[in-house]
């Protein structure tokens, strides 16, 4: 049978003790003398188990309370398949180099440590390493009686150290070298009544997480699961240390260890042809799972092994037959039960039973009939059913449970639910409660966020919000520009910029995106496409300098082409340039002026008049434009306009344009006399 040895406190031992009969493994506790908490204690325990460390009799009561030293030492520890090692305390107290347990220390010398001021002074000296001062302090404060003098002899040997990164790295390395396979477990980052975590504990958990991960070892932090359960349902002693787990939470932890560590390790051994895995470890795990009604997960496990070539088809058939019997028994049981008469505990148990058996539709029916609202079950129950249904392939039921979790504000379910909606092609956003949409979108991956908006036929600008980070915005717009083009992506980036309350985009990753868009726009073969591309970039970031320079260069290019075409009398070329000029952010009035001149020369006076008016709107102080309009109106016999334009010529005339003024005065006089 698969064997596991815990090295730590009740937080790992209790889940393992309770879980061995549910999951089919044995605890190997030989030469395990009790609980420990710090990395140094874990190393000492491991070495003691292997017979590589001795503990003196006089120190033993500070190391173990439940075991006799001689009896424990007489045993032999055979290596286990897995060691679950808890690293939960940064305080390391030693006596002559032997790690002792703080709980036993405080219990043994409770009277001495009862005085807080005395205890603080003692620990300061124990940490300083100045033994002479430490002994002098004890001689002064704890030598009044023979018992105190006896206590002082032991207290004087004590040293206090705090775990450092270097010491933690060494201890992790030692443990992985002397133990065949280790799962490291941290303390739980529980929060006090005021909602704040215990600072020193949080910092140590973070350090353990970082160093175990850097070492490439398996790691489990129970905090995420505690948040699923809710701290009050996970931690027994809300007011007394925030350290002990409820039975339900301990079972939940064990389920995770089984699913993420023990079963994968066993199955990998089977795939690799390790004989005892298939003959000894595996059958007991499968039998225990079936005995406890855990058919859904077991069948999935067997299917995966069968697909990988393992010879488990006979066992799979047996388990599926047992599952069918369990399903029939379950349906018979609930057939005579009135759903509205179930207690909360009974309904919760039935939902979990249906989930473990693998009848997820029945679990859904039971969950939907809770009062006063559907799915009024503990979050950890909803998570369990949702995860199991999704893994088993019942995506519709999984979606319903994940949606219930999302409506309860359970953020870890958001991204899974969103991806399921995309897979099932469902408009998820219409199913969320009022006011949840923006928060939900902000907590799913940027790529999925865009897909959800498309399913909802919503504006893609909803993909960003004031809380969207530059990195998230960059991911969104890069993906959009690749799938939808620069224009759509630019609208989203403009929306993000406006959320920030600025007309500048300065973050390096987003500037890089803008630069890449400019390069893409300038690579377009058609000049009109280049103009539209640059406009999109400038819409996203009006102050983006490379875009502005590129647009100015195109305008200069067009201005030269217009002048050359005008002088050459190439009216067709001028007409073809009109759409490009119109697309520019800055007008090119000279285009319509040249077009008007050439049309006038051709005798197309009404067209010349129309084009000239467009030029005049942009060049109201240019006399030549009004002269052209005056002459075109006269030729087109547009009397009132001819008079109006002639008066503009008169008003703009100067000594150098006296001849034009005279021409205009003549036109005015002629038309007025005619009138």
Domains of the chain: 3-254 (3.40.50.1110), 459-586 (no CATH), 595-675 (1.25.40.10)
Q: Average model confidence (pLDDT) for the chain?
A: 93
Supply the pLDDT for residue 239.
46
* pLDDT, average across residues 348-361: 96
Q: How much is the pLDDT for 540?
A: 95
Distance separating the N- and C-terminal Cα atoms of the chain: 117
Q: How far is CA 639 from CA 394, 445, 622, 646, in A?
A: 82, 68, 22, 10
Q: What is the DSSP letter of 55?
A: -
Please state whether beta strands 182-186 and 91-95 pair in parallel, antiparallel, or not at all (unpaired): unpaired
In this model, does residue 287 exceed pLDDT 60? yes
Q: Give CA–CA dist 25/7, Å, rounded.
A: 16
Distances (CA, A) of 29 to 3, 73, 80, 177: 10, 12, 10, 20
The Cα 134–Cα 152 span in angstroms is 10
- Chain-centroid distance of CA 261 in Å reads 23
Where are the strands (E) in 227-332, listed by range? Answer: none
Beta bridge partners, 94, equal: 99, 159
Alpha-carbon span 140 to 155, nearest angstrom? 13
Question: Does residue 388 carry a pLDDT above 60?
Answer: yes
Q: How many CB atoms lie within 10 A of CB 283?
A: 13
Q: Which residue has the higher pLDDT, 275 or 259?
A: 259
Structure tokens at 19: 């879980």
What pLDDT, on a 0 to 100 scale, did the predictor assign at position 674?
A: 61
What pLDDT sits at residue 324?
97
474-505 pLDDT, tens digit each: 999 999 999 889 999 999 999 999 999 998 99
Average pLDDT over residues 373-386: 95
Q: Which two tokens stand for residue 448?
A: 């999925």
Rounded to whole angstroms, how far apart are CA atoms 401 and 397?
Answer: 6
Which run of H or E residues covers position 56?
none
Percent of the chain with pLDDT over 90: 84
**pLDDT score of 375 more than 80:** yes
Q: Is 508 exposed, middle or buried (0-12, 13-18, 19+ CB in 10 A)?
A: exposed
The DSSP call for residue 258 is I
Surface-to-core class of residue 170, CB atoms within 10 Å of its CB (0-12 exposed, 13-18 middle, 19+ buried): middle
What is residue 371's DSSP assignment?
A: S
Residue among 127, 123, 121 nearest 163 (CA)? 127
* pLDDT 10s digits, 149-195: 999 999 999 999 999 999 999 999 999 999 999 999 999 999 988 88
C-alpha–C-alpha distance, residues 612 and 66, integer Å: 104
pLDDT at 586: 75
| Cα–Cα separations (whole angstroms), residue 80 to 25, 291, 328, 454 | 11, 24, 39, 53
Q: Please give the DSSP secondary-structure letter assigned to residue 220.
A: E
Half-sphere exposure of 41 (CA within 13 A, CB side): 32
**121: alpha, beta or left? (left if phi > 0; alpha if psi -120 to 50):** alpha
Q: Whose CA is closest to 4, among 213, 220, 262, 184?
A: 262
Q: Is the pLDDT of residue 675 over 70?
A: no
User: Chain centroid to CA 437: how far?
Assistant: 17
What is the CB neighbour count within 10 angstroms for residue 181? 15
Burial class (CB in 10 A: 0-12, 13-18, 19+), 585: middle
**pTM attached to this predicted model:** 0.80
Percent of the chain with pLDDT over 70: 99
Give yes or no for residue 275 having a pLDDT over 80.
no
pLDDT of residue 67: 87
Mean pLDDT along residues 378-387: 96
* Per-residue tokens: 343: 């207690």
Structure tokens, 359: 């009848």
Strand-pairing partners, residue 93, are 100, 160
Q: Is the pLDDT of residue 635 over 60?
A: yes
pLDDT winner (highest mean) among 210-214, 609-613, 645-649:
210-214
Provide the pLDDT for residue 118: 95
Specify the long-range contacts of residues 331-337, CB closer than 8 Å, at least 24 apart.
331/359, 331/362, 334/362, 334/366
């Amino acid at each position: 049978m698969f064997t596991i040895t815990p090295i730590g406190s009740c937080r790992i031992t209790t889940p393992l003790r309770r879980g061995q009969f549910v999951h089919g493994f044995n605890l190997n506790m030989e030469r395990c003398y009790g609980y420990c908490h710090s990395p140094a204690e874990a190393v000492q325990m491991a070495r003691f188990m292997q017979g590589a460390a001795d503990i003196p009799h006089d120190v033993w009561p500070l190391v173990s309370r439940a075991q006799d030293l001689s009896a424990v030492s007489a045993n032999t520890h055979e290596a286990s398949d897995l060691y679950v090692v808890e690293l939960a305390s940064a305080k390391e107290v030693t006596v002559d180099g032997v790690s002792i347990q703080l709980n036993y220390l405080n219990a043994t010398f409770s009277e001495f440590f009862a005085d807080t001021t005395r205890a603080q002074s003692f620990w300061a000296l124990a940490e300083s390493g100045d033994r002479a001062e430490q002994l002098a302090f004890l001689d002064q404060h704890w030598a009044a009686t023979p018992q105190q003098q006896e206590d002082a002899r032991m207290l004087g040997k004590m040293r206090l150290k705090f775990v450092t990164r270097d010491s933690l790295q060494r201890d992790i390395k030692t443990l992985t070298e002397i133990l065949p396979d280790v799962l490291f477990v941290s303390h739980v980052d529980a929060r006090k009544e005021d909602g704040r975590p215990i600072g020193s504990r949080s910092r140590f958990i973070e350090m353990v997480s970082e160093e175990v991960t850097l070492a490439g070892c398996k790691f489990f932090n129970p905090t995420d699961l505690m948040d699923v359960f809710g701290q009050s349902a996970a931690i027994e002693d809300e007011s007394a240390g925030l350290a002990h787990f409820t039975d339900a939470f301990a079972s939940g932890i064990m389920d995770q260890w089984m699913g993420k560590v023990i079963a994968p390790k066993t199955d990998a051994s089977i795939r690799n042809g390790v004989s005892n895995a298939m003959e000894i470890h595996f059958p007991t795990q499968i039998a225990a799972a079936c005995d406890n009604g855990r058919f859904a997960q077991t069948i999935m496990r067997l299917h995966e092994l069968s697909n990988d070539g393992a010879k488990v088809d006979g066992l799979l058939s047996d388990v599926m037959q047992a599952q069918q019997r369990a399903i029939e028994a379950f349906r018979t049981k609930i057939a005579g039960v009135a759903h509205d008469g179930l207690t909360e505990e009974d309904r919760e148990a039935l939902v979990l039973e249906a989930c473990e058996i693998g009848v997820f539709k029945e679990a859904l029916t039971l969950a939907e009939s809770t009062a006063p609202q559907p799915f009024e079950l503990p979050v950890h129950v909803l998570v369990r059913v949702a995860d199991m249904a999704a893994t088993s392939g019942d995506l519709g039921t999984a979606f319903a449970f994940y949606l219930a979790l999302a409506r309860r504000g359970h953020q870890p379910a958001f991204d899974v639910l969103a991806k399921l909606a995309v897979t099932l092609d469902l408009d998820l956003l219409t199913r969320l409660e009022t006011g949840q949409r923006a928060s939900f979108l902000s907590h799913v991956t940027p790529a999925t966020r865009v897909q959800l908006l498309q399913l909802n036929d919503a504006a893609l600008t909803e993909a960003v919000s004031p809380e969207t980070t530059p990195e998230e915005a960059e991911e969104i717009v890069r993906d959009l520009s690749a799938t939808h083009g620069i224009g759509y992506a630019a609208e989203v980036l403009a929306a993000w910029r406006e959320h920030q309350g600025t007309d500048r985009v300065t973050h390096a990753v987003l500037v890089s995106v803008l630069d890449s868009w400019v390069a893409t726009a300038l690579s377009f073969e058609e000049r009109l496409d280049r103009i539209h591309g640059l406009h999109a970039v400038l819409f996203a970031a009006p102050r983006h300098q490379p875009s502005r320079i590129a647009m100015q260069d195109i305008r200069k290019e067009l201005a030269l082409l217009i002048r050359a075409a005008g002088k050459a009398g190439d009216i067709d070329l001028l007409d073809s340039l009109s759409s490009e000029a119109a697309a520019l952010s800055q007008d090119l009035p000279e285009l319509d002026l040249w077009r008007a001149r050439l049309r006038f020369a051709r005798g197309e006076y009404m067209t010349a008049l129309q084009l000239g008016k467009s030029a005049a709107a942009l060049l109201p102080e240019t006399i030549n434009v009004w002269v052209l309009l005056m002459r075109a109106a006269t030729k087109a016999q547009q009397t009132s306009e001819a008079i109006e334009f002639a008066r503009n010529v008169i008003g703009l005339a100067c000594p150098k344009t006296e001849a034009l003024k005279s021409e205009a005065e003549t036109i005015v006089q002629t038309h007025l006399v005619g009138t």
